Amino acid sequence: MHEAISDTEGAGGTVTGGGLNETYNDTATDFTSDHETSGSETLTDCGGGVETGAFTRDQSASDSTSLLETGTETFGTNAVVTGGSDGSTFIQVGTDSSALGITGSAVTIGESNSNSMSFSETGGESLGANAAVTGGSDSFTWTQHGTDSYGLGMASPGPDIFALSDLDSVSDGWSDAGTDTLGASDAITGGTDSYTIDRWRSESLSLHDQGTATSPYLLIGTGTDTFTLHDRGVARTTFRSCPGGEAARG
């Protein structure tokens, strides 16, 4: 934190003017990760077969924040605040992810997910007599996103000869941005807000079956399914004064 004060003195050391400037800055970061490669997983299929596969696992997460605050004040007679301003900026960013993989001679399984978010807010105020807030504004942006994926692969060289693949992915995203207009004493007098929502999913399946060596046949099947959603909205808000000091939306 940094603070600087200056004043002007008149007769008898009476303060006749001056000012204050201050700055505060704070940041923090955190990160964790984990990686595992040893171990095995035993799987039993519907036909009674047993498959042992080695697996790997990865996990990580991070988070960071920063805050910056600034302010100025103007002094009058006897160091009474006659005006000034202040402002602040806050930012937060976070991520996390994980992945799991199992690999055997006839089966492969993979699963992963990831998430992220970010938030930022900036604001400023104008100060009048006695440091009372006379007006200002603020704005923010908030976003989040997540993805989950799953994959399965199976193959058998006999006695049943087949290959199977299944992939499934889901993704969600969301964002929101807004502004506020401030009046006296930080009262909100108006503002805007807009958002977007995105959702997506895709799944695919394929099968290649050749029967057995003694009873061969050929069966091939494939399928896909995709879903997409996009939604967007905008809102504007104003306030008007009512008798008795209440505020009403308009």
pLDDT interval class at 245 (50, 70, 90): very low
Cα 18 versus chain centre, distance = 43
Cα torsion for 77, 80, 81, 83, to the nearest 10°?
Answer: -40
Please give the pLDDT value at position 246: 45
**Residues 176-203, mean pLDDT to the nearest whole number:** 91
Please give the pLDDT value at position 39: 64
* Most confidently predicted of 91-100, 147-156, 183-192: 91-100
Please give the pLDDT value at position 173: 96
> 245 phi and psi, to 5 degrees?
85, 5
Q: Environment class of residue 102 by beta-carbon count within 10 Å: exposed (0-12), middle (13-18) or buried (19+)?
A: buried
Give the type of residue at 87. G
User: For the segment 138-150, what is each residue's pLDDT rounded down to a tens digit?
Assistant: 999 999 999 999 9
Q: Count the neighbouring beta carbons within 10 Å of the beta carbon of residue 127.
A: 21
Closest residue by Cα to residue 233 from 193, 173, 198? 193
Which CA distances in Å does 200 have to 83, 150, 174, 191, 231? 52, 14, 12, 31, 12
pLDDT interval class at 61 (50, 70, 90): very high
Residues 6+ apart with CB under 8 A from 29: 62, 63, 64
Query: Would you say 133 and 84 are in contact if contact means Cβ atoms under 8 Å apart?
Result: no
This prediction's pTM: 0.75
Residues 6+ apart with CB under 8 A from 12: none
Cα torsion for 218, 224, 103, 113, to the nearest 10°?
Answer: -170
User: For the segment 200-231, what is each residue's pLDDT rounded down to a tens digit?
Assistant: 999 999 999 988 888 888 889 999 999 999 99
Residues above pLDDT 90, as percent of the chain: 49
pLDDT interval class at 8 (50, 70, 90): confident
Please give the pLDDT value at position 18: 83
Q: How far apart are CA 37 and CA 58, in angstroms?
A: 9
User: For the segment 45-58, what is each residue's pLDDT rounded down to a tens digit?
Assistant: 555 555 666 778 89
**Residues 14-40, mean pLDDT to the nearest whole number:** 86
User: For the segment 91-120, what is each residue's pLDDT rounded down to a tens digit?
Assistant: 999 999 999 888 877 788 899 999 999 999
**Residues 156-163, mean pLDDT to the nearest whole number:** 81
